[in-house]
Structure 1
Amino acid sequence: MDKLRNMEVMVAVVEAGSFAAAARQLDLSAVMVGKHIRQLEEHLGARLFQRSTRQNSLTEVGAAFHEDCRRVLEQVRWAESAVERQRAVPQGLLRVSAPFTLGNEVVAPLVADFLLAHSQVRVELLLTDSVVDLAGEGFDAAVRIGAIADEGLVARPLKPYRMVIAATPGYLARHGRPERLADLARHQCLSHSVWQRRVEWTLRDGADAVQWPDIARFTCNQGDGLRQAALRGLGLIMQPEVLLAEEIREGRLVPVLTHCVPAPRPVHIVYAPDRRQLPKLARFIEFVVRALGVEGRAV
């Protein structure tokens, strides 16, 4: 038995004034209207209408139940309209994950711009180099570097993640500019501690291929710490282009070995498929894709 439908029919009978009028209003037969009322009465164990050859009037129980039905149906309509309002206007909390460096340098500023444009949205941004479980950890979307392993997610491509090797003009004046991979042996190299445990980036020069030097003058577990050391002229740094873009643009760091840098890695924004995606997520996805997609700025 569809209780809500039966309640809708009862309210329609009372407001229309008769079973026949309610049938016309609901596009049902009078017999079907009567069936809905009988189902309600059998379920409740009480007579709702006093039937006669001339008219059908509410019993005392029926009058009280009618008022309760109206309130219930109003609440249902309010709940349905709330969902539709949420689908019409971006609002509510978005939980987003992104890798630390890319997230800090690129995603966080984009989130701020998005929030300025959508006053009813809140965003919780988690910067982590771990891969979060979107469904299990309650995230709406994540920016990921590398191949997408979860085929159950929608993955929208963004600009590839590029690396750059650079040093200060002063360092290069003292130690010379490296031209080949073999030149790295006579340079001070700065390295991320993750690379000491898990080699990730391969440098190539024609047929030659080497890993970024394992023995580093300075090792740090954060790219920004390496950037600060490089800016003081300590040595060569290899870091994501987004982390060093401003310093390179201003000439404080100079790219070297540009023909040897590792191949760019794919970047995607991923999210669960949803036939009726809420505006807060749909607008955010499109905002990020416009800024960082194929036609957007490089990352």
Structure 2
Amino acid sequence: MDRLQSMRVFSKVVEQGSFVGAAKVLNLSNAVVTRHVADLENHLGTRLLNRSTRRMSLTETGQGYLERVRSILIEIDEADAAASAVSKKPAGILNIYSQISFGQMQLARLLPKYSLQYPEVTLDVTMSDRTVDLVEEGFDVGIFTVFQKFDISMVARQLGIAEVLLCASPDYLRKHGRPLLPEDLQQHACLNFSLEHLRHHWSFQSGDGVSTIPITSKVMSNNADLLRHCALAGMGIAMRSSYSLGDDLGTGKLERVLADHHINKISVQLVYPSRRLLSAKVRSFVDFMMTEFPYPDRDPWLAA
């Protein structure tokens, strides 16, 4: 049994939602696709898929195995792509999509470094908070947060996990005091994202569960940079993601409040349409970003 090929077939069956769909995409017969999955299950001694004439679903073992298989296939395909691209020089226009706050506060500092390494690559960067289709809209690579959807067939590499935190200017805290408990926020002006579930309440997680605190929004906006400037101007306490703060905490322009009370975490992912036959320019950018963020399960922005 070609176990690697069986892994590819198994992964494609799940991606397509059927044996027939996988057979069509892989240009194989239905019987061959079925045999690959059966051989894999026999080798492992366990069932990976529950299937009937009408539907198919992963078993619990199959779900865990699929996650490892996809990781293995990504590493193998990217190793092949990297080897074949060694002799190619990154050049041309690299079309990058980025979530706005990440683009403003993180890409803005990283792209000059990338450009020095790859001077023949021209960078065309589009920033937005909307959901985009990378292929349909002509992007080579995108940076998404957990709130933005992308096609599951895309390759996603996690850059880090950002902490959602509260911060305010030293001037605001001198004038209005520092909240010591989440309940103290009821006496403060809050700078808020204009999302319905955040307009009037902020939630905090603890070992005892989730506590929801009523708040008064002084400013609401769908733009994190505007909220940052309002916080810097001393208008109130802002809810921010760590990657959107830049050096504001490190330089003391803003101070974190209620640091012992957890709000939420946001995964940030580098996404691109295919891991096969990547162009040298895309390969160079993917490798650059993964080198800049080598610990995907941490928050590299809060520690910076």
Return the TM-score normalized by structure 1.
0.64
Question: How far did residue 109 of structure 1 move?
Answer: 2.6
Aligned length: 216
Could you say which residue in structure 2 is the equivalent of 1:282? 283
Partner residue in 1 for 2:44: none
Instruction: State the Cα distance separating 1:149 from its structure 2 match.
Output: 5.0
1:220 and 2:221 are equivalent in the alignment: yes
For 2:240 and 2:85, the matched residues in 1 are separated by: 45
Distance 1:195 1:127, change over 3 A: farther
Distance in structure 2 (CA, Å) of the matches to 1:199 and 1:161: 23
Give distance in 1, aligned partners of 2:224 and 2:213: 15
Residue 284 of structure 1 aligns to a residue whose secondary structure is helix
| Structure 2 CA distance for partners of 1:151 and 1:201, relative to 1, 3 Å | farther
State the alpha-carbon separation in 2 of the partners of residues 213 and 177 from structure 1: 17
The separation in 2 between residues aligned to 1:198 and 1:290, in whole angstroms, is 38
**Partner of 2:300 in structure 1?**
298
Check whether the contact 1:291–1:297 (CA below 8 A) recurs between aligned residues. Answer: no
> Given the superposition, is the C-alpha separation of residues 262 and 101 from structure 1 closer, same or farther in structure 2, using an over 3 Å criterion?
same
Quick one: distance in 2 between partners of 1:150 and 1:174?
A: 48
Name the CA distance, whole Å, in 1 between partners of 2:238 and 2:268: 22
Matched residues in 2 for 1:234 and 1:198: separation? 17
Query: What is the correspondence of 1:216-255 to structure 2 with a 5 Å cutoff?
Result: 216-255=217-256
Provide the C-alpha distance between the structure 2 equivalents of 1:236 and 1:170, rounded to a whole number of angstroms: 11
CA shift, 1:204, in A, is 2.1
Query: 3-state SS of the aligned residue for 1:275?
Result: coil
Q: Tell me the percent identity.
A: 28
8 Å Cα contact 2:163/2:266 also seen in 1: yes
Corresponding position of 1:121 = 121
Structure 1: where are the runs of 5+ without partners? Answer: 1-83
Equivalent in the alignment of 2:267? 266
Give the corresponding residue for 2:257: 256
Residue 182 of structure 1 aligns with which residue? 183
Task: Report the 3-state secondary structure (helix = DSSP H, G, I; strand = E; otherwise coil) of the residue aligned with 1:265.
Answer: strand
Distance 1:185 1:208 in 2: 20
RMSD: 2.9
Alignment partners' CA distance in 2, 1:197 and 1:188: 14
Name whichever structure is richer in helix by fraction: 1
Structure 2: gaps (5+ residues): 1-83
Cα distance, 1:274–1:298 mapped onto 2, change above 3 Å: closer
Question: What is the correspondence of 1:1-299 to structure 2 with a 5 Å cutoff?
Answer: 88-146=88-146, 149-194=150-195, 202-207=203-208, 209-210=210-211, 215-294=216-295, 298-299=300-301
For residues 124 and 230 of structure 2, what CA distance do their matches in structure 1 show? 31
> Aligned letter for 1:125?
V
Letter in 1 for 2:243: V
- TM-score, length basis structure 2: 0.63
Task: Report if aligned partners of 1:92, 1:120 keep a CA contact under 8 Å in 2.
Answer: yes
Q: CA deviation at 1:169?
A: 2.3
Which residue identity lines up with residue 298 of structure 1 in the other structure? P
Match of 2:72 in 1: none
Q: Provide the secondary structure at the position in 2 that maps to 1:216.
A: strand
Q: Secondary structure at the match of 2:178?
A: coil
